[in-house]
């Protein structure tokens, strides 16, 4: 009996120690550690509207970002968040609090990002969020901060094109605009939905799907990297991305939009793009970022996901 | 109270066909997984109980590896790891991955269930069978199997229910079973309470029905002297 | 170790394993406390209470853990009564606690009922009330019988923490997957998926195997006592 008591005590102690260690461990929260920053330090602070009161009180942003979507939101070799979206979020921390560390990141997936925002776990989501009519009824969008185009990734030997998708299996990420578009417009195709873009690439490589329909920036990176895969010439669903904000959270919307307008005026998005896209691909994407003379608009009133080619 | 008021019954009603499609896939995979794990359990359980050389050790390693690793990692290993074996990639159909992974998992647990069941069959029963002139295989088929399988029934039923529940993890590789269908539906409709309460109710209905059914069978099959 | 493996191992052990153990620790402590309490209450002969606890046990044992975690993480926050926002780690831990406590409650009921009635009567004769009787006499004895299933539960919970990766927790499995993705998308583009998934299986085996052996050992000791 005594020995058993000792075993119990040891187990409880071990559990408690793990719990305490976990809470104290730096790895528990994705800390905003050193990472390449694209945005230069501006000596003069821009005039921005007042921060939302809870963000101001907390003295840092809580932002949902992708962790599986290079080069927008991913985990770098040292285990830190990085990418285009992450650096936009870090720029918000600098603009709000003067330090790029004043932000805690939460990893979100395509299907979990809107629920994560709506349940108040984060202040905003900067997570490759394409504007759609259905989403804009659930949450508010900031002004656009990127514009993506849909492309098809296929094996080199494949003859699949946008016009010949009947009977084929199309893979994309769950909750992506391409999933809705496929179920609306390609009723003769099979739709396979997975939780991360990498799993979708694997599905094409392993023959479980004929093509991966997705954002150009991600696919171009894959196609240049992988000698067995290529992009078809088709381009579709050119719709800008916005930052997701809870419905009616006007204070946050006002601040975020002012910050984005400021970054656009200073042409900061190009610098962030250059810091994240491979040098030889930057040229292809210069038109995808907001610039002083490069404006985007959401297709408000049009349900793009049900307009078929 | 607003939860009740804003609950959209119509939405669930409209999407019953989607749930039904997903449920059919779940039941199909579960049926193959349960059948397969029954076969694995009998064969490897017998090998363990009768100490058949080589097969006994292979079965022991199989059981320990599967029972001490998460099934979700096993699923990813089969779906994404085997395809990347340097030199000899193994590529499987999604449906094959689905039933194979739940079957391998259930088979390991069932091997243990049946081993315990067969070992609980009194030695004198088998001696009697052999004395009657039955061969070793015939003794197993006519004596050890019917009695041992009944002893193993309660624990193997738990394994079958777990196999059914584990099919939900196939969501992770995008296999369109019940949970995957619901998850995709939610990601486009943004109605988490409707979708997941309906999903939970469907699982409880299936799991409780399955449990009740097998309990019925169990009662009919129970060993008379244990009654 | 090859060049690619060093940062991967570092990331998986520092971030992934620590999150895995953290969720497991919350889940084990929570499941044990709630489960022992509910299991003890289940032995009281008061029908409405028994029915209520039975329902709790049957629901959370009947649902796949993934579905429970989806309910907790995605559906629960839409209920207006929930004002507190909890993160993905807490969501996963709560889901595991609901499942684990149902298992423990069932095991506790069995353990408490296996204590002979004479023990209850003797304790009552000594002047103990219901709470004192259970705290000082019945539960310490029942706990001995409960120990093997609790150790098995710990092994099971550690394995099931991987489900947290599906709601975005960067636990051990997720850190492995993020590493595979990073390796696949950066030159030379080899994902090493086979090696990383195999390492994940090995890591979980090393944690779980000693625990399941310990459970078997404790079970045998119990029988021989």
Q: Are A82 and A75 in contact (CB under 8 A)?
A: yes
Number of CB atoms found within 10 A of residue B128's CB: 13
CA distance A83 to A36: 10
Distance from CA of A283 to the nearest CA of C (A): 19
Nearest to A193 among B89, B91, B174 (CB): B174
C201 touches chain B (CB under 8 A): yes
CA distance A220 to A309: 22
Top-level class of domain B28-221: mainly alpha
CATH number at residue C145: 1.10.3720.10
- Each domain of chain A, given as residue ranges in start order, spans 53-145+242-297, 149-238
Distance of CA C184 to the CA centre of its chain: 33
Distance from CA of C155 to the nearest CA of B (A): 8
Show pLDDT as tens, one digit a residue, over chain B (227 residues): 444 457 889 999 999 999 999 999 999 999 999 999 999 999 999 999 999 999 999 999 999 999 999 999 999 999 989 988 888 889 898 999 999 999 999 999 999 999 999 999 999 998 999 999 999 999 999 999 999 999 999 899 999 999 999 999 999 999 999 999 999 999 888 888 999 999 999 999 999 999 888 888 888 887 666 44
Least confident of A5-19, A47-61, A276-290, C186-200: A5-19
CA distance A172 to A199: 9
May I ask the CATH architecture of the domain A53-145+242-297?
3-Layer(aba) Sandwich (3.40)
**DSSP assignment string, A236-259:** EEEEEE--EE-TT-HHHHHHHHHH
CA distance A222 to A201: 8
Residue A25 has pLDDT above 60, yes or no: no
Q: What share of chain C is helix, strand, coil (3-state, %, to 5)?
A: 85, 0, 15
Nearest Cα residue in chain B from A112: B187
**Residues of chain A neighbouring C163 (CB-CB closer than 8 A):** none
Nearest Cα residue in chain B from C174: B73
**DSSP assignment string, C15-28:** IIIHHHHHHHHHHH
CA distance B59 to A256: 60
SS3 A206: coil
Q: Report the relative pairing of strands A124-126 and A211-215 from DSSP bridges.
A: unpaired
pLDDT tens sequence across C34-72: 999 999 999 888 999 999 999 999 999 999 999 999 999
DSSP C46: -
Judge whether A53-145+242-297 and A149-238 match in fold. Answer: yes
Q: Are A68 and C178 in contact (CB under 8 A)?
A: yes
Structure tokens at A121: 């776990």
**Residues of chain C neighbouring A18 (CB-CB closer than 8 A):** 21-22, 24-25
> Domain count of chain C?
1
Distance from CA of B135 to the nearest CA of C (A): 34
C182 touches chain A (CB under 8 A): yes
Distance from CA of B92 to the nearest CA of C (A): 15
**Residues of chain C neighbouring A19 (CB-CB closer than 8 A):** 22, 25-26, 29
Diameter of chain A by CA atoms?
A: 79
Domain that holds residue C46: 5-224
Chains with ≥3 CB–CB distances under 8 Å to C: A, B
Query: With a CB-CB cutoff of 8 Å, which residues 186-205 of chain B face chain C?
Result: 186, 192-193, 195-197, 199-200, 203-204
Q: Are A225 and A231 in contact (CB under 8 A)?
A: no
Number of CB atoms found within 10 A of residue A27's CB: 19
Q: CB-based contacts of B38: which residues, under 8 Å, 6+ apart?
A: B110, B156
Nearest to B204 among C63, C155, C166 (CB): C63
CA distance A239 to A296: 9
CB contact under 8 A, C143 and A8: yes
Q: Which residue has tokens 């990127």?
A: A146
Structure tokens at C168: 């975005």
Confidence of residue A14 (pLDDT cuts 50, 70, 90): low
Q: What is the ipTM of this complex?
A: 0.93
A204 touches chain C (CB under 8 A): no
SS3 A213: strand
Nearest to A59 by CA among A103, A100, A120: A103
Nearest to C162 by CA among C23, C48, C35: C23
**Exposed/middle/buried for residue B131 (C-beta within 10 Å: 0-12, 13-18, 19+):** exposed
Mean of the per-residue pLDDT values for chain A? 87
CB contact under 8 A, C22 and A18: yes
pLDDT tens sequence across A195-222: 999 999 989 988 889 999 999 989 988 8
Structure tokens at C173: 């499995």
Mean of the per-residue pLDDT values for chain C? 91
CA distance C53 to C50: 5
Top-level class of domain A149-238: alpha beta
Nearest to A111 among B91, B172, B183 (CB): B183
The CA radius of gyration of chain C, in Å to the nearest whole number, is 21
pLDDT tens sequence across A41-81: 545 567 899 999 999 999 999 999 999 998 899 999 888 99
CA distance B193 to B196: 5
Q: Are A194 and A203 in contact (CB under 8 A)?
A: yes
Query: With a CB-CB cutoff of 8 Å, which residues 121-140 of chain C face chain A?
Result: none
- Each domain of chain B, given as residue ranges in start order, spans 28-221
Q: Are A114 and A245 in contact (CB under 8 A)?
A: no
Q: Are B71 and B101 in contact (CB under 8 A)?
A: yes
Q: CB-based contacts of B6: which residues, under 8 Å, 6+ apart?
A: none
Q: Report the relative pairing of strands A124-126 and A140-141 from DSSP bridges.
A: unpaired
The helix/strand count (H/E) of chain A reads as 11, 14
**Residues of chain A neighbouring B8 (CB-CB closer than 8 A):** none
CA dihedral of B67, B70, B72, B78, whole degrees rounded to 10? -60
Confidence of residue A26 (pLDDT cuts 50, 70, 90): very low
pLDDT tens sequence across C118-149: 888 888 888 888 888 888 888 888 888 899 99
CA distance A75 to A59: 24
Per-residue pLDDT, B2: 45
Least confident of A61-70, A253-262, A288-297, B187-196: B187-196
Residue A21 has pLDDT above 70, yes or no: no
The helix/strand count (H/E) of chain C reads as 10, 0
Percent of chain C beyond pLDDT 90? 67
Q: CB-based contacts of A202: which residues, under 8 Å, 6+ apart?
A: B79, B80, B83, C193
Q: Are C31 and B164 in contact (CB under 8 A)?
A: no
Structure tokens at B151: 């002893």
What's the first-to-final CA gap in chain A, in angstroms? 75
Per-residue pLDDT, B219: 83
B28 touches chain C (CB under 8 A): no
């Amino acid at each position: 009996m005594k020995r058993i008591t000792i075993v119990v005590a040891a187990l409880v102690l071990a559990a408690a120690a793990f719990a305490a260690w976990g809470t104290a461990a730096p790895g528990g929260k994705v800390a905003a550690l050193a990472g390449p920053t694209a945005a230069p330090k501006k000596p003069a602070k821009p005039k921005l509207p007042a921060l939302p009161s809870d963000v101001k009180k907390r003295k840092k942003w809580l932002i949902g970002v992708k962790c599986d979507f290079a080069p927008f939101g991913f985990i770098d070799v040292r285990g830190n968040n990085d990418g285009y979206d992450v650096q936009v979020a870090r720029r918000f921390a600098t603009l709000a609090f003067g330090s790029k560390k004043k932000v805690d990141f939460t990893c979100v997936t395509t299907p979990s990002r809107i629920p994560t925002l709506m349940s108040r776990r984060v202040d905003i989501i900067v997570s490759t969020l394409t504007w759609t009519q259905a989403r804009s009824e659930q949450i508010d969008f900031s002004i656009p901060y990127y514009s993506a185009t849909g492309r098809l990734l296929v094996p080199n030997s494949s003859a699949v094109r946008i016009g010949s998708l009947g009977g084929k299996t199309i893979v994309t990420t769950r909750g992506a605009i391409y999933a809705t578009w496929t179920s609306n417009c390609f009723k003769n195709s099979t739709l396979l939905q997975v939780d991360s873009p990498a799993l979708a690439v694997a599905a094409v490589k392993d023959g479980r799907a004929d093509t991966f329909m997705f954002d150009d920036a991600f696919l171009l990176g894959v196609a240049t990297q992988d000698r067995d895969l290529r992009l078809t010439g088709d381009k579709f669903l050119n719709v800008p991305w916005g930052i997701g904000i809870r419905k009616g959270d006007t204070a946050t919307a006002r601040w975020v939009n002012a910050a984005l307008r400021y970054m656009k005026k200073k042409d900061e998005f190009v610098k962030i793009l250059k810091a994240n896209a491979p040098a030889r691909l930057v040229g292809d994407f210069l038109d995808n970022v907001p610039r002083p003379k490069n404006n985007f608009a959401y297709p408000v009133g049009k349900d793009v996901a049900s307009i078929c080619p | 109270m607003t939860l009740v008021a804003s609950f959209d019954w119509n939405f669930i009603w409209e999407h019953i066909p989607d749930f039904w499609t997903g449920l059919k896939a779940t039941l199909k995979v579960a049926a193959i997984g349960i059948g397969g794990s029954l076969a694995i359990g009998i064969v490897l359980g017998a090998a363990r109980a009768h100490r058949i050389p080589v097969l006994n050790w292979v079965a022991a390693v199989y059981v320990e590896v599967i029972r001490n690793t998460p099934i979700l990692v096993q699923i990813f290993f089969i779906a994404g790891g085997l395809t990347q074996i340097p030199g000899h990639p193994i590529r499987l159909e999604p449906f094959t991955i689905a039933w194979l992974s739940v079957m391998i998992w259930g088979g390991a647990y069932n091997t243990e269930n049946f081993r315990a069941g067969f070992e609980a069959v009194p030695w004198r029963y088998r001696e009697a069978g052999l004395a009657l002139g039955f061969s070793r295989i015939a003794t197993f088929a006519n004596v050890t199997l019917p009695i041992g399988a009944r002893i193993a029934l309660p624990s193997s039923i738990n394994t079958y229910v777990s196999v059914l529940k584990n099919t939900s993890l196939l969501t992770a590789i995008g296999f369109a079973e019940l949970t995957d269908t619901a998850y995709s539906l939610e990601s486009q409709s943004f109605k988490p309470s409707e979708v997941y309460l309906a999903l939970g109710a469907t699982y409880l209905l299936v799991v409780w029905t399955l449990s009740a059914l097998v309990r019925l069978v169990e009662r009919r099959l129970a060993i008379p002297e244990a009654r | 170790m090859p060049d690619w493996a060093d940062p991967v191992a570092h990331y998986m052990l520092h971030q992934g394993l620590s999150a895995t153990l953290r969720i497991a620790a919350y889940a084990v402590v929570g499941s044990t406390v709630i489960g022992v309490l509910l299991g003890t209450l289940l032995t009281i002969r008061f029908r409405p209470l028994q029915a209520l606890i039975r329902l709790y046990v049957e629901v959370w044992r009947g649902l796949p853990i993934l579905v429970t975690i989806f309910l907790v993480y995605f559906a629960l926050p839409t209920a207006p009564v929930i004002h507190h926002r909890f993160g993905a780690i807490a969501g996963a831990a709560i889901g595991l606690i609901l499942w684990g406590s149902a298992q423990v409650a069932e095991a506790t009921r069995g353990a408490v009922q296996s204590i002979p009635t004479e023990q209850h009567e003797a304790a009552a004769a000594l002047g103990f009330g219901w709470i004192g009787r259970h705290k000082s006499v019945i539960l310490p004895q029942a706990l001995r019988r409960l120990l093997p299933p609790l150790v098995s539960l710990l092994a099971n919970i550690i394995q099931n923490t991987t489900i947290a990766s599906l709601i975005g927790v960067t636990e051990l499995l997720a850190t492995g997957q993020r590493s595979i993705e990073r390796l696949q998308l950066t030159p030379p583009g080899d994902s090493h998926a086979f090696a990383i998934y195999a390492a994940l299986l090995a890591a979980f085996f090393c944690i779980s195997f000693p625990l399941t052996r310990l459970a078997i050992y404790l079970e045998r000791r119990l029988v021989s006592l």
